[in-house]
Chains A and B, each alone.
Chain A
Amino acid sequence: MADYTPPDGDAVNFEFEGGYSAPDGDAVNLLFGVVADVDLPAGSPSRSTFYSDTGFDRTIVKWTSSAGGQYRIEMGGTGANTGDLITSGACAADTEMVTTITFAQISAASGYSGAGQYRFNIYVKSSDDIWTPYE
């Protein structure tokens, strides 16, 4: 973990995500470390809309991570390990990864509820064991 020193005189405002509320009266311990940045290049995913029709039932996602490590691609959820796992593995830093997502995978997920829009999140665990946060 890297040591972090907030700038003098500046207030630091923390907002908690994922429905988390810090308990009243309890101290919050902030740990700073390397967090992987995930990026999707232009044109990714290859399709943003598809269905079960043959030949039109999948999309291809290209993505890169600033840090290597384990990754998870989840449908829904508000943070690593909270959504439906589509695929997982390990990636190298700044290396193009290619992930195919099919209608069959989506429809098999517990969060699937028929036609509509679904959000997918890519999480990479950095060398400091910190998963990419939910954005």
Chain B
Amino acid sequence: MANNFNITIDSAYPTAPAVQVADSDSGAWVTHNLQVKISLEKPTAQSTTHYKVWGTANAATEGAASWVAWPGGSQATVTGTLADVATKQTLYAKFKNDGVEESSVVTASGVYFSWTDPSISNTVQWKDAFSTVDYDAASFATLQNTVDNIEIELNKSNIPGLSFDSVDLSGLSVSGDRIIVEDSSAFAELINGAEVNKVSVQKVFDADEQPMIAVDTGSGLTTITAYDGSIKTTQSGTHGSRVENINYNSNTKTLTFDIKEFSTYGFTTINKVEFSSTTGGGYNGNAIQIEVTVRDTNNETVESAPVTITKVSGDTIGSFASNPVNTDSNGVATFTLNLNSNGTCVFDAYVDDKHTADDLTAWCIATPASLQRSLLTQYEQIRNSATYSDTVSGVNNQAVAEPSGSTYDAGSDDVLEHDMNVFRTLLQQIKGTTNWYDELGTYFDPTATSSGKELTLDNIAGNTLDSKTIILAVTEDQSGSGWSTSSGTEGILWTTTLLYADSENRRGLPIFKSVTNSGTYYDEGGSDDVCRIDLINSSTGAEFEDASGNEIYAKFHDAADHGGTGEYTDVYVKFYTDLGEYTFTGDDPTNISFVYPFRKVLSEMEEHEWQRTDFVSSWEGDAELVEDVSNMWSFTGAGDDITGPSFNNTGNNYMLSPSDSSLTEAINSINDEFGDFTYTEQNYVTDNESTTASLDALDIGVKDVNDLVTAGSGDKYVEELSGDLSAGTLHSLPAGVTYTPDATIGQEGKNMEVFINGQLLAASTGANGVNADRDYAETTASGITFHLDLWTGTNITYVVRQ
């Protein structure tokens, strides 16, 4: 296997003289035709005048070969015929000059002849047997189906590399006016996929009808050509380029075309010509349009078909602007009939020999006088009501929309049908639906979620934003200065141009009371939900109460009742508690601000007004409250979704109980455990004093008792002298014991008791017993000096207290 070969270009080739057959010098060459090319090169030095060739079917031997005049030049090419045998055939040649000097015989390398007819479907046969066209020497071969009058030409110039010998063409068949190629066949491989390869088809029709080409790629026939033989403008992609060179000779009824991409091909002709509407007409002097649709036997519309309209009967009511008219890409031929004579006419339309089955009845009538309506006119007024358009162009930009083209008779735009279409279009635009008659359906109804609410204007009425009001909370603090108040203040006269809400215009300040304009304002005597004004202590930012614990707030009064002017000038902020009107006392704040209600229409709400920015910027706004809540969580140990405390060390003898479910209960438990701070004897602690004071008193008392107890006890040490001890000699205490010498008068030696053989001794007075007036002196912290002689074996006992 190799997909490559080498060729040498050699200017010395071949070596003269030479003869070669069928462009071959290989000696193994197989040719598929009998008539072959014989290439000759004369001897270099010879002025050749004649040559002869033998070994062919006509001249098997040299003797049978005749001298032929040399055509001149160094080389010559002639033709010869091989014998129809399968064995190797060798040709010979000889050259001579002036008919005298002959060259030696030159021998060609030899060739073989081999031929096998192509295999084909039994639905076709070769138009010419290969034996009559010298086998593969034929530049083309034609398959034919005589039943369908179809011929398919395979031309080597259209299929580069094609050899007819042994080629498998059985994948092509012709049957039932169809040219069929199996997708995976060798024939399909030869044609499909290459830019240059194609086959030529010829189809002769019996009937005198313009044919069109159709293709079936697996989903039925699709017409790909127009009436005039061009590719339909609606076709693109493979369908747009699979055939070319389409030509129809109507004289011979022969269609020829080339196929570049194979599938199943068939043919179609015009099958039906029909009017879009079988009635129509208009007023004399106007023009009407008549549409005719042409379809083929595949029921597809035919492009470029020439449609002719003729009068069948009746009056001549007008003239056509053009007749015939070619169909457009949609297969529709549109005629313009200029009406010029009253009457009725029946028209027929046709292409070739196909006529409309249902003819068109058209009329032309005189334009009726004003206020006159003939029966015919009335009929026209209401006709075609079932033909409607939801999308009348121009309906929104001109006073009288004219939906030309929406119905059959575009020349009569003043009929009710068109008006109805305009209204239908407007209704469709208002509803926003696809069609004017589509149901709007329902929208979500929170009170009836399963059924929803019908989308009707009645249901919407009263429910739009501009039909609803909202009471907005607005801050007023005199640009941060607040209002000064004092004992005796009953209210504040606030200068403002805001309007008062009244029964007609409910927007503005809700006025709770007016005497001067009694009955004028909408909210007179209104509830706190509407009229209440929150007063804020400027120093704390919080609401405040009177001495009895009643919250102090305010309501708007007509300023005209309180020394002011009234609406659009000022308003009076009157103080209240739940007990009624209120006058400030000396305990009340001296500077206040307030948050007042103001009624607005929802549709007038500004975007920022929903965000309560006034509160954030002044008193306890939402953001501030969030921070406060967070702080409170941090302070109490609470948190999001935590509704109760969780204490450690509950139960048993702890102060807190497992049943404590709130900080209040926990504190009560602690409070109960601590008791009422009253004592029976009050030895060390005192009633109602702080816990610290009581513990401090107990701490001091316990310390004192401990000191006393410690002073009354001591550590005992016993010593037996190992030698004599003379009086006046410092004697160290045993075991390194130390003590604190004490010369307190009357308590000398109180920190250590000394016994001799069980007899308690007395310590001398003076610092370190300097007076030596008793049994021993406390000379040092680690030793004492006896004032008497002691002997070996004496038992000395020390009791050291400190």
Contact = CB atoms under 8 A, between A and B. Distances in A.
B1 to A, nearest CB: 5
B189 A55 contact: no
Given A46-B25, A88-B196, A97-B162, A117 B3 contact: no
A22 interface: no
Given A59-B23, A135-B3, A51 B187 contact: no
B632 to A, nearest CB: 61
B25 A47 contact: yes
B23 A38 contact: no
A32 interface: no
Contacts of A53: 13-14, 41, 74-75
A103 B13 CA distance: 12
B13 A90 contact: no
Interface stretch (B165-173, B215-223, B683-691): B165-173
A99 to B, nearest CB: 5
Nearest to B27: A43
Interface string B9-35: 111111000101011111111100000
Interface string B175-206: 00000000000110111111111000000000
B9 A118 contact: yes
Contact of A54 (B12, B27, B76, B160): B76
Contacts of A123: 3
A114 interface: yes
A132 B1 CA distance: 12
B457 interface: no
Contact of A58 (B23, B26, B161, B166): B23
Given A51-B11, A90-B191, A91-B189, A46 B6 contact: no
Nearest to B10: A49
A120 B18 CA distance: 26
A104 to B, nearest CB: 12
Nearest to A67: B189
Given A58-B23, A69-B193, A95 B167 contact: yes
A95 B186 contact: yes
A115 interface: yes
Interface string B238-253: 0000000000000000
B168 A90 contact: no
B40 interface: yes
B27 A50 contact: no
Given A55-B20, A55-B39, A90-B193, A46 B26 contact: yes
B308 to A, nearest CB: 45
Interface string A64-99: 000011110000000000000001111111111111
Given A92-B187, A98-B163, A99-B160, A115 B11 contact: yes
Interface in A32-61: 37-40, 42-56, 58-61
Contact of A99 (B73, B161, B195): B161
A114 B192 CA distance: 37
A91 B22 CA distance: 23
Contact of A132 (B3, B187, B197): B3
B78 to A, nearest CB: 9
B372 interface: no
A56 B75 contact: yes
Contact of B23 (A42, A60, A93): A60
B159 A89 contact: yes
B792 to A, nearest CB: 106
B5 interface: yes
B2 A106 contact: no
Contacts of A100: 23
A93 B14 CA distance: 36
A9 interface: no
A22 B720 CA distance: 109
A71 B160 CA distance: 10
A87 B740 CA distance: 132
B190 A91 contact: yes
B9 A89 contact: no
Contact of B6 (A42, A94, A115, A117): A117
Interface residues of B, number: 54
B3 A97 contact: no
A120 to B, nearest CB: 6
Of the listed residues B1, B161, B167, the one surrounded by the most CB atoms of chain A closer than 10 A to its CB is B161
B4 interface: yes
A45 B24 CA distance: 8
Contacts of B37: 55
B77 interface: yes
A55 B77 contact: yes
B3 A38 contact: yes
B136 to A, nearest CB: 8
A109 B7 CA distance: 14
Nearest to A60: B23
A130 interface: no
A25 interface: no
Contact of B161 (A48, A69, A98, A121): A98
Contact of B24 (A43, A69, A99, A135): A43
A117 B7 contact: yes
Nearest to B14: A56
A88 B76 CA distance: 30
A37 B167 contact: no
B161 A93 contact: no
B659 interface: no
B161 A91 contact: yes
A46 B196 contact: no
Of the listed residues B27, B39, B77, B167, the one surrounded by the most CB atoms of chain A closer than 10 A to its CB is B39
A51 B10 contact: yes
B184 to A, nearest CB: 9
Contacts of B3: 37-39, 63, 121-124, 132, 135
A35 to B, nearest CB: 10
Contacts of A89: 159-161, 194, 196-197
B648 interface: no
B606 to A, nearest CB: 61
Contacts of A117: 6-9
B189 A90 contact: yes
A119 B3 CA distance: 11
A50 B9 contact: yes
A92 B28 contact: no
Nearest to B196: A89
A135 to B, nearest CB: 6
Contacts of A118: 6-9
Nearest to A92: B186
B73 to A, nearest CB: 7
A93 B7 contact: no
Nearest to B195: A88
Contacts of A90: 159, 189-194, 197
Nearest to A106: B9
Contact of B5 (A37, A51, A61): A61
Contacts of B27: 43
Contacts of B7: 45, 47-50, 59, 101, 106, 117-118, 120
B194 to A, nearest CB: 3
A23 interface: no
Given A90-B189, A117-B8, A135-B4, A56 B13 contact: yes
Contact of B8 (A63, A91, A116, A132): A116
Interface of B: 1-14, 18, 20, 22-30, 37, 39-41, 73-77, 159-163, 165-168, 186-187, 189-197
10 contacts: A51-B11, A53-B74, A55-B41, A56-B13, A62-B163, A70-B193, A88-B195, A90-B193, A121-B4, A122-B3
What 4 pairs across the A-B complex have the smallest Cβ distances?
A: A68-B189, A55-B39, A43-B28, A90-B194
Interface of A: 37-40, 42-56, 58-63, 68-71, 87-101, 103, 106, 114-125, 132, 135
Given A53-B74, A91-B190, 19 more contacts: A43-B24, A48-B5, A49-B10, A51-B13, A55-B20, A56-B75, A62-B163, A71-B194, A90-B192, A90-B194, A93-B186, A95-B167, A115-B11, A116-B9, A117-B9, A120-B7, A123-B3, A132-B3, A135-B4
